[in-house]
Amino acid sequence: MNTRPTTPSALADGEHLKVLGYDDTFDRSMSLWANFALGFTYLSPLVGVYSLFALALSVGGPPSVWWIFIVGAGQLLVSLVFGEVVSQYPIHGGIYPWARRLWGRRYAWMAAWVYIWAMIVTVTAVAEFGSGFTASLFGLEPTPTTTLLLTLALLLLALLINFSGTKWLGRVARIGLAAELAGVIGVGLYLLLFQRKQEFSVFFDTMGVEGDGSYATAFFGAALAGLFLFYGFEACGDVAEEVSQPARRIPRAMVLTILVGGVSALFSFVGYVLAAPDLQAIVAGENADPIPGILESALGTVGAKIFLVIAVTAFISCVLSLQAAASRLLFSFARDGMLPGHRWLSKISPRNKVPTNALIVACTIPAIIAVLVWINPDLLVAVTAFAVLGIYVAFQMVVLGALRQRLRGWRPAGPFSLGAWGIVVNALALAYGVFAMVLLALPGSSGDVITDWIVLIGLGVVVVTGIAYLLIARPDGKSDAPEGDAITVAEEIRRRTGAIPLPQTSQRRPR
């Protein structure tokens, strides 16, 4: 018997792809830090904190900051599960190929269908929020038409940068990372150290948001403050075939995205709360957009203008990262023949090695949604709310698929492994995900049925149309892409890396 080591070394990138059934056709120019920057700028704590700061305080008061810890811990568990999956399957598309290889084509089709729409509306929402910063930077009045034009300009700028290739994507992502860190950690620390107007004990003071009821209701109502912040790390895996040594680097990039993103968001949120000149007015809901006032009070007019430059840079990078991730998912979906027009969508530019047609779609549909928001501005809240729940649903379909395979005997074979802790982490990640989805799906209390149930209505429309297309067009039947092969692929990787003893020459390895 040949006794080779039982700990596998990573396969070469091209050989690993061949084991998974694909050719190595992309330019692997993305480093660990560029991959981390892509995930971080997608997660974008600056965007998340700015967008939901006033809502979090008016609903849950200063203690809503604890959701950053709760959601950060839960999503860290999810990122560890994703890390083991992508380490075995370092292929483009993330959620879709992971769900397919862990379960099956139909299951993956539904996961990807929900995820694609959630990503596309997230692109729209981030570009819309970024247009407000851009208008302030250039002194423009934020009218609906100005907002639409600036939103379209951000989408087009991101498309042009994405067209230029993976190297430029990585460069701009790193610039966005620097802007994010300066905008959230740098400014947050400055506010915390030099502009503090509140005591730290304020984070244990509900400031009366519960009214005559229980504070638990108010606290759970503020959960969106954390839930909106901690997704985007999965984008590190969406571009796996453009990363050197992806099986090792992408899991690290995902964990770094969660940890650095969480710390950044914490400094930012805490800094804004402690530096607020009139915190009670924000908690009472009398100031719907308090951050510009906090910054101008603390930094002065010039300082606030510099922050706007940083913020616009971060928003551009965030839209860029979202667009890139969405295009790679569309490409991966189309490469397996699972979408209408799959041959057109799966084309790669021979010059820049990017899926240009998929990028066009990832820009055009958000632009159309932006026009609809221009017609009816109330739609922005609806699409943003759907995006968060849709992302979490898609995440948990992968987590559930991974747990199912573990119970059937799967031991992840990539160089990133949790070992015996894998099944424990997987089960805890699933429990957290169910808890998060319940919080996101809870109806509002405004009394208007459409407004209160809009999140579930949006998810229902996407799921029903997806099921209808799946049953009528049968895209899963037109694809021969491998499915449900986690155990057999793991065995093959171990055989090739020498992680299992090879049989004697007189014996045949059982199939």
- Residue 243, φ and ψ in degrees, nearest 5: -110, 135
9: region left, alpha or beta (phi > 0 left; psi from -120 to 50 alpha): beta
Architecture of domain 27-407+429-442: Up-down Bundle (1.20)
Report CA torsion sign: 165, 167, 172, 177. Answer: positive
Coil vs helix vs strand at 30? strand
Residue given tokens 């100031």 in the structure block: 287
Contact yes or no for 244/28 (Cβ under 8 A): yes
**Running DSSP on this structure, what letter comes out for residue 504?**
P
Whether the pTM exceeds 0.95: the reply is: no
Query: Residue type at 484?
Result: G
| pLDDT tens, residue order, the chain (511 aa) | 333 334 445 678 888 888 888 887 777 878 888 888 888 877 888 878 877 888 899 999 999 999 999 999 999 999 999 999 999 999 887 888 899 999 998 999 899 899 888 888 888 888 988 888 888 888 888 788 999 999 999 999 999 988 888 777 778 778 878 887 888 888 888 898 889 999 999 999 999 998 888 899 899 988 887 888 888 888 898 888 888 889 999 999 999 999 999 998 998 999 999 999 999 999 998 887 788 888 888 888 888 888 888 888 888 888 888 888 888 888 877 887 777 788 888 888 888 788 889 999 999 999 999 998 898 887 776 777 778 889 999 999 999 999 999 999 999 998 999 999 999 999 999 999 999 999 888 776 667 777 678 778 888 888 999 899 888 888 877 777 788 999 999 998 888 887 654 444 333 333 3
In the chain, where the domains are located: 27-407+429-442
Angle at which helices 144-163 and 356-375 pack, to 10 degrees? 180
What pLDDT does 125 receive?
A: 85
What number of other Cβ atoms are within 10 A of residue 24's Cβ? 13
- Residue 182 token pair: 């300066």
Contact yes or no for 38/261 (Cβ under 8 A): no
**Running DSSP on this structure, what letter comes out for residue 100?**
H
Query: Exposed, middle or buried, 508 (CB in 10 Å: 0-12/13-18/19+)?
Result: exposed
Question: In degrees, to the nearest 5, what angle opens at C-alpha 133 toward C-alphas 128 and 138?
Answer: 120
For 380-423, what is the HEC assignment?
A: HHHHHHHHHHHHHHHHHHHHHHHHHHHHCCCCCCCCCCCHHHHH
What pLDDT does 507 receive?
A: 36
> Which whole-number Å values give the CA distances from 276 to 14, 132, 192, 304, 507, in the listed order?
53, 21, 11, 15, 74
Question: In degrees, to the nearest 5, what angle opens at C-alpha 113 toward C-alphas 111 and 119?
Answer: 95
